[in-house]
Structure 1
Amino acid sequence: MKPRRRRLSAATTSTILGAGLLLALTSSAAGAAPATTPARTPTLPASSTTTAPQAQGSVIVHLFQWRWESVARECADVLGPNGYGAVQVSPPQEHVVLPSAEGAEYPWWQDYQAVSYKISNTRRGTAADFAAMVRTCRDSGVQVYVDAIVNHTTGPGRGSGSAGSSWQGDAYTYPAVPYASRDFNDCRHDIADWNDPDEVWNCELLALRDLKTSRPNVRANITDYLNGLIDLGVAGFRIDAAKHVPAADLEAISAGLHDVPGYGGKPYLYQEVKEGGGPDSIKPWGYTHVGDVTDFRFHATVGTAVRDGRLNGLLDALDQDMAVAADEAVVFVDNHDTQRDDVSISYQGMGDRHDLAQTFMLAQPYGTPKVMSSYSYTQRAEGPPSTGPEAGNPAGALTAPTDCDNARWFCEHRNLNAMPTFPTAVGPAPAVPRTTDGDSRLAFDRGNRGFAAFNATDTVWHLTSPTNLPDGTYCDVANGPATCTSTTTITVTDGQLTATLPANGTLAIHVGGRGS
């Protein structure tokens, strides 16, 4: 893969902050009205000094709506051993609590409506749980990236948030920050003209109260929130709804961010900027000077092609037809929004073909790949599996610990085995087509460092293909661990390999996974 912008380098030591920082993140801002104390008060960890964490790769996995303890366990048991470089977690700030909305109880999107920047209590756990998760993931070689809500607060209405803080959306009042009416833009209706930057930036997205991010105090509140997370060890941020914040405002906020403890350098930023009409200032390439952007063209191109079994020409399309340069893009087959917009491009709609699509994403060279891992749903707004409300806890229905043996949790990333080691091993080596068999079967090299094959049909493919890989025995990381087992080896002899790919099957080998 091409080098990522704002990549973090390793430093010599890492200070994991303890009680002081957690108290700052869990208490109300100075001058704010006091809020109800949540039932589960954090147990604050002591400060400690450890050796520097080492990020091991570029692949991100989005563990959508997972509890903090479940993320920590996954980092140690699965993500680290299989080569993931980072995990994107759901928003940790205090959110609204909606017992019923859009036909669902406690919808997933309530977590994207911010009441305050406190992380003391959400349906995924406490501040102490969050801090412990960050430490465990860093110790496992996995950076933590937070889904950051900076464009808006809540929708209309009023209530109490997941940490007990009051909010009044109708009055544009959020005392736990504090925010008052003057801190929001004057256009207080939904966006009508999506080609007009003034409306896209200053009017409301789905009735969410749009923050006036040009105001110094608003910028300071957001910067303080992000810095608190960085000081806990968070290494990057997905900027939700970045298209609805002027790039100049995001640039000003990012300029005030701390260096990441241990890794050194500023946090990695990637921004949600969907394409559409209007001038360049509201298109993905209008934000790349601030950070990377999510390339929705990749989702549409790869998701559709793999779903329909059309692999021929796909590498050319990715080389020529994407929105931004490869080193400015975060790419994905589906995310939590798109899988609800079009279930046919999701694990719920594609099954094994979705695994093939995500494996292909990791094998090709364009962009920084983000793997999706989600849960099943019947209603679009349906929240994650839950243990229900807990007496005295204001967060409402609490997210259940993830159980990948439970059909409600898809855990798609586990189906990819050690495939995340592939992009790290092949680096920026170009994709070179080697073998095709009709429109639905494709094999290619990544220079002389890797080889991958894909069978987007319902029948077995008996593959014989040339390759630039050196002769030898290799681990099939698409179907097993990075250390070979007797059933996951592929042998290259005289520059050629032979293998059998099952229906909708894949194969991937690289120079970093050699057999004995």
Structure 2
Amino acid sequence: MSVRTSSLSALAVLAAIGLPLAALHGLEREPAGAPQAGPGRTDVMANLFEWNWDSVASECTGTLGPAGYAGVQVSQPADSLKRTKLGDGSDTVLHPWWEIYQPVSYELTSRMGTEAQFRSMVTTCRRAGVKVYVDAVVNHMTGQGSTSYGGRTYSHFEYAGLYDASDFHRKGTDCPSSTGGIEDFNNLRQVRTCELVGLADLRTDSPKVRNELAKYLNKLIGYGVSGFRVDAAKHVGQDDLLALQKKLRDTVDGDRPYVALEVFGGGPGILSPQAFTGAGSAVLGLDGDIQIKNAFKSYPADGTGSLAVLKTFGDGLTPSGKTLSFVQNHDTERNGDALTYKDGATNLLAQQFLLAYGYGTPQVYSSFAWSATDASPPSDPGGLITDTDCASEAWVCVHRDKAVTGLVGFHNHVGRAPVTHWWDNGGNLIAFSRGQAGWIALNNDKSPVTRTFDTGLAAGTYCDVTRGSVSKGKCSGPTVTVDARGQVRVTVPAKGAVAFTRADRV
């Protein structure tokens, strides 16, 4: 996001505005639904934020494919700002994470690697059964600097061979605010034609701009990309989003691209997330992650919320089939809206709930450790991101945790089965089935609880997938026994869960 403003908090909240695009009205074919890939997979996506391309490729082969992830969201791959001095948004970090949200050209030379490495990563992931979804910045270009990672020079409104001043909204002619930036986020004209935190705002209603954007996105599709998270989609507007999508080709699988739109909540009328559900395949579940945080953690210093309130999770939010859901993303883990990796077991438990409950297309977020909100991912002195090492404290690999991968398999098995046999104690112990396909109990209290639950599953011994897995008819972890009445007596660990599906019978 633009760092021409000194407000780092605004930058951290707004900088990376993007979603996978959803329902595509006005197209000749039906819009893309939830992403699917490979046998034994449904729609679970990993979001490997600011991992380099070689590391993503390795993860697709070593973890994502075997664990049953259907897709991976990767970071904005276009050539972007490369800062050469401190200030202008960060006085302490030369190469903050938000550099990539200021594109300079649509060449694929970035902090994450070269174009050849990007293409190889997509091919490798697809061979592993994992589709690739790209974070796409189409609303704006840069807000500062003059040099890119690809070695290009530029100015705020001049990008050689791509855009000139006539391709941007300008103060006085288009933008009605006194500064040229968005001063009122409830003012429709300002939201669409003024600069978001100082970023040069593209005329996305212009045929030339739409053609350049479509050329870029179609190149990615041609390389095997299956869809996009569209950053700052609220600031593009529905009509321009739909017009751009009409120019996109089908994916290599013959499907329409999956397009998820970043639309932060709180806006009235046509600025609300609900108003964008027809402008793409989905909108980001930015209100949902707030509700998850409030249920699992709440706001008092020692608060733990109440999991019992999640019985109707999804009511009042955007429709499940039109939502890319998550516990956190790179914006909300920094702006206070969501749980973060720093919440430890609570964060893992929330990931398990989302995967088990079935609201939206679930995405598991992994990235790098940070203390300052504008911290750089682990990089070399020139800003190029180094290989991910999940054994290092510098990286946070939530998607690898057994508590999470076990629930990826659970989610894939139960599919669209309804939530049944809900039980709660009015506080922080809940349990529910997914039809007759699977059952889970989650305990957000600090002490284990032992009790008997109705599961709706057939009698037998089952492997607890939160701590083990089935191989050759044997469970690598603890087992639980369902009796002839479909009941199970289990101890649900503190800050933990017990879960199994009918496929986990041993």
Alignment of 1:237-386 (within 5 A): 237-261=228-252, 263-278=253-268, 280-291=269-280, 292-307=282-297, 308-322=303-317, 324-342=318-336, 345-348=339-342, 350-386=343-379
CA 84–61 in structure 1, closer or farther in 2 if over 3 Å, else same: same
**8 A contact 1:94–1:118 mirrored in 2:** yes
CA distance in 2, matches of 1:203, 1:487: 56
Alignment of 1:6-21 (within 5 A): 6-7=32-33
Match of 1:216 in 2: 207
Alignment of 1:167-186 (within 5 A): 167-169=154-156, 172-176=157-161, 178-186=162-170
Secondary structure at the aligned position of 2:134 is classed as: strand
Letter of the 1:305 counterpart: A
1:150 corresponds to which of 130, 138, 145: 138
* Structure 1 residue 514, shift from structure 2 partner: 2.3
CA distance in 2, matches of 1:54, 1:128: 28
Letter of the 1:398 counterpart: L
CA distance in 2, matches of 1:311, 1:427: 26
2:72 corresponds to which of 77, 82, 87: 87
* Structure 1 residue 219, shift from structure 2 partner: 0.2
Q: Could you tell which deviates more after superposition, 244-253 or 96-105? A: 96-105
Match of 2:189 in 1: 198
* Structure 1 residue 254, shift from structure 2 partner: 0.5
TM-score (norm 1): 0.84
Letter of the 1:373 counterpart: S
**8 A contact 1:61–1:87 mirrored in 2:** yes
1:225 aligns with 2:225: no
Q: Deviations over 1:338-385 (max 9, x none)?
A: 11111872112x111000011111011211111111211121100111
CA 315–431 in structure 1, closer or farther in 2 if over 3 Å, else same: farther
Match of 2:61 in 1: 76
Match of 1:398 in 2: 384
CA 463–144 in structure 1, closer or farther in 2 if over 3 Å, else same: farther
* Structure 1 residue 433, shift from structure 2 partner: 4.2
Q: Deviations over 1:214-233 (max 9, x none)?
A: 00010001111010000100
Letter of the 1:90 counterpart: S
CA distance in 1, matches of 2:257, 2:221: 8
* Structure 1 residue 460, shift from structure 2 partner: 1.4
Q: Could you tell which deviates more after superposition, 233-242 or 467-476? A: 467-476
Alignment of 1:12-31 (within 5 A): none
2:461 corresponds to which of 473, 477, 490: 473
Secondary structure at the aligned position of 2:393 is classed as: coil
CA distance in 2, matches of 1:325, 1:344: 20
Q: Deviations over 1:15-65 (max 9, x none)?
A: xxxxxxxxxxxxxxxxxxxxxxxxxxxxxxxxxxxxx96682201111111
Q: Could you tell which deviates more after superposition, 481-490 or 213-222? A: 481-490
| Aligned-CA RMSD value | 2.1
* Structure 1 residue 318, shift from structure 2 partner: 1.4
Match of 1:115 in 2: 104
CA distance in 2, matches of 1:184, 1:233: 30
* Structure 1 residue 458, shift from structure 2 partner: 1.1
Q: Deviations over 1:122-172 (max 9, x none)?
A: 11111111111111111111110000000000003x421111111101xx0
Match of 2:441 in 1: 453
**8 A contact 1:91–1:147 mirrored in 2:** yes
* Structure 1 residue 325, shift from structure 2 partner: 1.1
Secondary structure at the aligned position of 1:398 is classed as: coil
Letter of the 1:327 counterpart: G
Match of 2:7 in 1: none
Q: Could you tell which deviates more after superposition, 401-410 or 338-347? A: 338-347
2:496 corresponds to which of 499, 505, 509: 505
CA distance in 2, matches of 1:380, 1:486: 39
* 5+ long unaligned stretches in structure 1: 11-51, 390-395
**8 A contact 1:294–1:329 mirrored in 2:** yes
CA 207–433 in structure 1, closer or farther in 2 if over 3 Å, else same: farther
* Structure 1 residue 284, shift from structure 2 partner: 1.1
CA distance in 2, matches of 1:464, 1:295: 34
CA 412–9 in structure 1, closer or farther in 2 if over 3 Å, else same: closer
* 5+ long unaligned stretches in structure 2: 1-21, 24-30, 298-302
Letter of the 2:452 counterpart: T
**8 A contact 1:80–1:140 mirrored in 2:** yes
CA distance in 1, matches of 2:190, 2:405: 44
CA distance in 1, matches of 2:34, 2:476: 37
TM-score (norm 2): 0.86
CA distance in 1, matches of 2:71, 2:367: 16
CA distance in 2, matches of 1:235, 1:274: 24
Match of 1:63 in 2: 48
Identity of aligned residues (%): 38
CA 235–53 in structure 1, closer or farther in 2 if over 3 Å, else same: same
* Structure 1 residue 316, shift from structure 2 partner: 3.5
CA distance in 2, matches of 1:219, 1:318: 38
Q: Deviations over 1:431-490 (max 9, x none)?
A: 124432350111111111111111101111224211111223333223334645331433
CA distance in 2, matches of 1:75, 1:380: 28
* Structure 1 residue 288, shift from structure 2 partner: 1.4
Match of 2:419 in 1: 431
**8 A contact 2:135–2:231 mirrored in 1:** yes
* Structure 1 residue 260, shift from structure 2 partner: 0.9
1:490 corresponds to which of 474, 480, 486: 480
**8 A contact 1:9–1:265 mirrored in 2:** no
Letter of the 2:336 counterpart: D
**8 A contact 2:46–2:71 mirrored in 1:** yes
CA 135–425 in structure 1, closer or farther in 2 if over 3 Å, else same: same
Q: Deviations over 1:77-112 (max 9, x none)?
A: 111111111111010000101143512130000011
1:412 aligns with 2:406: no
CA distance in 1, matches of 2:470, 2:137: 36
CA distance in 2, matches of 1:327, 1:63: 23
CA distance in 1, matches of 2:337, 2:322: 27
Secondary structure at the aligned position of 1:166 is classed as: coil
